[in-house]
């Protein structure tokens, strides 16, 4: 009887994996919305007058409030003070609100309004009115999306503590990345299905985000029950108490050398991945002389191999370790892929070669995240883990904000993708350097990055 009473909800494999699927589906819809317009870059240019610089500014706007208004820093404090339930619902709601604003900015109601004319004549940042409103919505969505990402990481750390944490984080990332695949196929389909209305894919994505919010409500019910069990066992960590979290504890994050190595590796690696996703369909269409729909469909292969491999790599890390080594291997693969995009594919244009390089890049995108995110709880105390994740995301967002703008401007200036691909590969070189430093520091200090996660 005593053993039955002490059995917690996350001890049930079905319960903890159900909880994971619920929050992962919310992130699936979020990732899908992020890239909803990536396959439609050329259509945006013809129908709304967005050039490469405008598209780069739009892509960067997702991260503006997170970076310059320090929203992610506040998000970390909110997460550690208020917990994963409140923060998750807040982040999902922000995504829905931002998506609705973005949809309005591309709707016929706005495009034919006096407000559109006024904003366009205003000429702020040389952007048309549709881009200004879309950027505003994307900013708000970005606040929710990045907050959701850190909340999900802390939720998984809670539900899978001492269990298959790396596999769970890998599976969550795999499900989320499937959103990129879905966006590359469904966005052009919805666009064509609704008489080439540029707002139609955005409306579709907004509806999915509402469904994601509902899924998180279900998770909240489960998590509340889990907390009651933890409280009965005396294991509940009460967010909001002075013992649990203090603002002064943030200094411990910034003073940690390991934290900075992880954060710098993160921003460099992801700056070569997510901004590339925005331009990849157009790059493939230009390099292979195909239409934009075909370019999007070719690039849709990118998350597939990552989706398949990440849970297995996470399972390997859970049982065998070697996370720091995986970070270095992933960086090396990424360097080789972007150099191939810069020189090999233009010299020998082939759909088969393009898919092969994209698939190999997907292997890199499996190795690095599967090793990176489960390593953070090993170097940061749990009471400030949410803040640590958010600060890492904030630093990452600086790169994700700046790089699309840089790539857009370089693309307009050079008229080709060779230099942008060299820029992406250079990020990989620096990421490899910090990965080597991370492994050396772990060897000296014994943080356990190379050790298994599952405790026997």
On whether the CB atoms of residues 397 and 72 are closer than 8 A, the answer is: yes
CATH of the domain at 180: 1.20.1250.20
Q: Are the C-beta atoms of residues 396 and 270 closer than 8 Å to each other?
A: yes
**What are the tens digits of pLDDT across the range 16-66?**
999 999 999 999 999 999 989 988 888 888 888 888 788 888 988 988 898
Angle at 448 between CA 361 and CA 239, to 5 degrees: 95
Cβ–Cβ under 8 Å, residues 383 and 237: yes
What confidence score (pLDDT) does residue 423 get?
96
Q: Are 435 and 79 in contact (CB under 8 A)?
A: no
Which parts of the chain sit beneath pLDDT 70? Answer: 1-6, 234-249, 453, 455-456
CA-to-CA distance for 35 and 30, rounded, in angstroms? Answer: 9
Give a yes or no: residue 2 inside a domain.
no
CA distance 446 to 272: 30
Give the position of tokens 């609704």: 194
Look at residue 238 and tell me if it is in a domain.
no
Place of tokens 């244009």: 349
User: Would you say residue 453 lies in a domain?
Assistant: no
pLDDT tens for residues 299-328? 888 877 777 777 777 778 778 878 888 899
Q: Could you tell me if residue 456 is inside a domain? A: no
Show the domain range for 107.
Answer: 11-233+243-445
Asked whether residue 3 is domain-assigned, the answer is: no
How much is the pTM?
Answer: 0.76
Q: Does some domain include residue 275?
A: yes
Does residue 386 contact residue 151 with C-beta atoms inside 8 Å?
A: yes
450 in any annotated domain = no
Number of domains the chain contains: 1
Asked if residue 452 belongs to a domain, the reply is no
SS (H, E, C) the chain: CHHHHHCCHHHCHHHHHHHHHHHHHHHHHHHHHHCCCHHHHHHHHHHHCCCHHHHHHHHHHCCHHHHHCCHHHHHHHHHHHHHHHHHHHHHHHHHHHHHHHHHHHHCHHHHCCHHHHHHHHHCHHHCCHHHHHHHHHHHHHHHHHHHHHHHHHHHHHHHCCCCCHHHHHHHHHHHHHHHHHHHHHHHHHHHHHCCCCCCHHHHHHHHHHHHHHHHHHHHHHHHHHHHHHHHHCCCCCCCCCCCCCCHHHHHHHHCCHHHHHHHHHHHHHHHCCHHHHHHHHHHHHHHHCCCHHHHHHHHCCHHHHHHHHHHHHHHHHHHHCCHHHHHHHHHHHHHHHHHHHHHHHHHCCCHHHHHHHHHHHHHHHHHHHHHHHHHHHHHCCHHHHHHHHHHHHHHHHHHHHHHHHHHHHHHHHHCCCHHHHHHHHHHHHHHHHHHHHHHHHHHHHCCCCCCCCCCC
**Judging by beta carbons within 10 Å of its beta carbon (0-12, 13-18, 19+), is residue 240 exposed, middle or buried?**
exposed
């Amino acid at each position: 009887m005593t053993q039955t009473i002490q059995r917690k909800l996350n001890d049930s494999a079905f319960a903890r994996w159900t909880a994971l699927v619920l929050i992962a589906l919310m992130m699936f819809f979020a990732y899908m919305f992020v890239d909803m317009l990536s396959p439609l870059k050329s259509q945006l240019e013809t129908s709304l007058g967005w050039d490469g610089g405008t598209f780069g500014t739009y892509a960067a706007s997702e991260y503006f409030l997170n970076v310059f208004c320090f929203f992610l820093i506040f998000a970390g404090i909110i997460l550690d003070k208020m917990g994963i339930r409140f923060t998750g619902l807040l982040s999902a709601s922000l995504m829905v609100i931002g998506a609705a604003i973005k949809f309005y900015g591309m709707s016929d109601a706005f495009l034919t309004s006096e407000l559109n004319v006024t904003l366009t004549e205003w000429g702020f940042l040389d952007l048309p009115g549709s881009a200004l409103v879309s950027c505003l919505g994307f900013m708000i969505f970005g606040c929710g999306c990045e907050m959701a990402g850190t909340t999900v990481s802390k939720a998984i750390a809670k539900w899978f503590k001492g269990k298959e944490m790396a596999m769970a984080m890998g599976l969550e990332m795999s499900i989320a990345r499937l959103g990129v695949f879905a966006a590359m196929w469904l966005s052009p389909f919805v666009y064509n299905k609704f008489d080439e209305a540029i707002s139609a894919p955005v409306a579709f994505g907004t509806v999915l985000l509402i469904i994601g919010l509902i899924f998180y409500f279900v998770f909240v019910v489960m998590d509340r029950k889990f907390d009651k069990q933890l409280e009965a066992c005396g294991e509940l960590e009460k967010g909001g108490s002075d013992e649990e979290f203090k603002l002064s504890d943030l200094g411990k994050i910034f003073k940690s050398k390991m934290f900075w190595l992880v954060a710098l590796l993160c921003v460099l690696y992801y700056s070569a991945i997510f901004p590339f996703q925005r331009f990849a369909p157009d790059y493939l269409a230009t390099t292979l002389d195909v239409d934009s729909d075909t370019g999007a469909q070719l690039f849709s292969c990118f998350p597939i191999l990552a989706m398949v491999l990440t849970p297995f790599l996470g399972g390997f890390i859970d049982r065998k370790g070697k996370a720091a080594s995986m970070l270095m291997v992933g960086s090396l693969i990424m360097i080789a892929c972007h150099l191939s995009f810069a020189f090999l594919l233009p010299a020998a244009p082939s759909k088969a070669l393009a898919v092969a390089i994209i698939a190999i890049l997907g292997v890199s995108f499996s190795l690095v995240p599967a090793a990176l995110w489960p390593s953070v709880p090993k170097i940061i105390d749990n009471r400030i883990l949410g803040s640590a994740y958010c600060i890492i995301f904030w630093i990452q967002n600086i790169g994700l904000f700046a790089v699309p703008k840089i790539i857009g401007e370089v693309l307009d200036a050079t008229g080709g993708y060779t230099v942008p691909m060299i820029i992406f590969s250079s990020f990989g070189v620096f990421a490899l350097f910090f990965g080597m430093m991370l492994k050396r520091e772990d060897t000296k200090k014994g943080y356990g990055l190379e050790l298994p996660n599952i405790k026997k």
